[in-house]
């Protein structure tokens, strides 16, 4: 794989994180940003490595389910955020925020977004590029897109609170649906 193609792949994979980061940024959870960025970056680094090292044979069994699991998790998170945006119950929103911002919640989101990267790792493993280079490009793209999405989501929420949350959740739903349909 040529290096420029790897950078394009990193941008495509990082765009998943951008949509999720828009949603999370709009939820006013700035104190959790480093937890989010660190977790997303670590998953985006290690999951492709796992895919590369597991190998082609095992991918036949996981490839069929990775899109369904990852897409379903993104759809669920999108639905929860839309429900929260339309709900006037501040207590419910704080409960949802506590679930999303917990280590379990952030790890679940990261795992859902990274399952497709396992399959990407399988295909990268067949190319003549160093695994650490691949994982580093993907993780760096993820971190940059996550940081950008968290910042933009925060500012959009100030002007358009409900519409920003619904828009970000809709992006999650679209990415989840596209993942389920195996378009991405």
Tell me the mean pLDDT per 10 residues along the chain, length 184.
72 76 80 90 89 67 67 73 67 65 84 73 65 87 91 75 67 72 68
Range of the domain at 15: 3-180
Residue 127, pLDDT score? 61
Q: What is the pLDDT of residue 7?
A: 79
**Which pair of tokens denotes residue 125?**
């493993």
Cα separation, 44 vs 120, whole angstroms:
11
pLDDT at 111: 83
State the pLDDT at residue 177.
78
- DSSP assignment of 56-121: HHHHHHHHHHHHHHHHHHHHHHHHHHHHHHH---HHHHHHHHHHHHSHHHHHHHHHHHHHHHHHHH
The two tokens of residue 8 are: 């394009």
Instruction: Locate 63 and state its tokens.
Output: 């490839």
| Token couple for 68 | 């369904």
Q: Please, are residues 30 and 154 in contact by the beta-carbon 8 Å criterion?
A: yes
Place of tokens 């940081």: 147
Domains contained in the chain, number: 1
- What token pair was written down for 1? 């794989």
The answer to whether 107 touches 75, Cβ cutoff 8 Å, is: no
pTM: 0.66
């Amino acid at each position: 794989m040529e290096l420029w193609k790897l950078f394009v792949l990193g941008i495509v994979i990082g765009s998943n994180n951008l949509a999720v980061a828009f949603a999370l940024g709009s939820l006013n959870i700035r104190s959790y940003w480093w937890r989010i960025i660190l977790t997303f970056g670590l998953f985006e680094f290690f999951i492709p490595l796992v895919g590369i090292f597991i190998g082609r044979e095992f991918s036949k069994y996981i490839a069929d389910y990775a899109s369904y699991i990852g897409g379903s998790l993104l759809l669920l998170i999108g639905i929860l955020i839309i429900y929260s945006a339309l709900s006037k119950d501040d207590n419910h929103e704080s409960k949802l925020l506590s679930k999303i911002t917990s280590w379990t919640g952030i790890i679940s989101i990261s795992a859902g977004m990274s399952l497709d990267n396992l399959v990407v790792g399988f295909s990268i493993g067949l190319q003549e590029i160093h695994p650490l280079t691949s994982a580093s490009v993907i993780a760096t793209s993820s971190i940059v897109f996550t940081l950008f999405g968290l910042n933009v989501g925060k500012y959009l929420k100030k002007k358009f609170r409900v519409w920003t949350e619904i828009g970000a959740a809709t992006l999650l739903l679209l990415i989840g649906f596209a993942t389920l349909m195996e378009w991405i």
